[in-house]
Amino acid sequence: MANGLPSTLKRFTNGILPENPVFRQILGICPTLAVTNSMDAAMTMVVAVAFVLICSNIVTSLIRNLLKPHLRILVFTLTIAAFVTIADRLLAAYVYEMSKKLGPYVPLIIVNCIIIARCEVCASRQRVVASVADALGQTVGFGLALAAIASVREILGFGTWFGLPVMPSIWPSWVIMILPPGAFLTLGLLMGGANWIGRAWRARAAAPRPAGA
């Protein structure tokens, strides 16, 4: 774009790995730690966050030229809170069991920094198309991160994946993986791994190509 902001495609791909909200930006850690002890809960959270993120980005992008700099955070919060409440009611009405399971973590999406960060960084500066691409990219990144953490925790902690048994029945379920310490351990190890791989990729990209290759 003319103003030096990333293009629509770049916005989408950035969210997946280079600017992954969990592993690179370290945002939205509260739901990441709290609802990743089973895949179904984690994926419901991802869908709820996706809904709020996409809707908030669209609204913010549409009103971006009307925003007053000192009132913008207030407007972002208002927008996010409205969509979170809608998401919470929809979950309670159509997937009641899951809404019971997620408990307070759905209303807490209001304070999920991924969403307000995207309103500030992208949606308040770019067109709707770029903002939607950005929201989708961040959602995919958030979803991949939560799926990775929840898979490790559910398989080791319960011996199941999406509630289906995947480990041999003699597997002694590691209770610690379901409890909060398991969330921190898994997040730390996976974040370290993701950054290690990212560094290796960048080093390879920067290295001069050997002659004749």
**How do 164-165 and 160-161 pair as beta strands?**
antiparallel
Cα 26–Cα 189–Cα 202 angle in degrees, nearest 5: 70
CB nearer to another protein: give 89 or 199. 89
CB nearer to another protein: give 26 or 73. 73
The piece of 13-21, 42-50, 70-78, 162-170 that touches another protein (CB under 8 A) is 70-78
CB nearer to another protein: give 26 or 175. 175
The piece of 1-9, 24-32, 79-87, 133-141 that touches another protein (CB under 8 A) is 79-87
The token duo for 202 is: 């960048």
In the set 2, 3, 4, 66, which binds another protein (CB under 8 A)?
66
Asked if residue 175 binds another protein (CB under 8 A), the reply is: yes
The piece of 81-89, 127-135, 139-147, 202-210 that touches another protein (CB under 8 A) is 81-89
In the set 100, 165, 193, 199, which binds another protein (CB under 8 A)?
100
Is residue 11 classed exposed, middle or buried when 0-12, 13-18 and 19+ CB atoms within 10 A define those classes?
buried
Strand partners, 18: none
Residues 101, 45: Cα–Cα separation, whole Å: 11
Radius of gyration over every alpha carbon of the chain, rounded to an integer in angstroms: 19
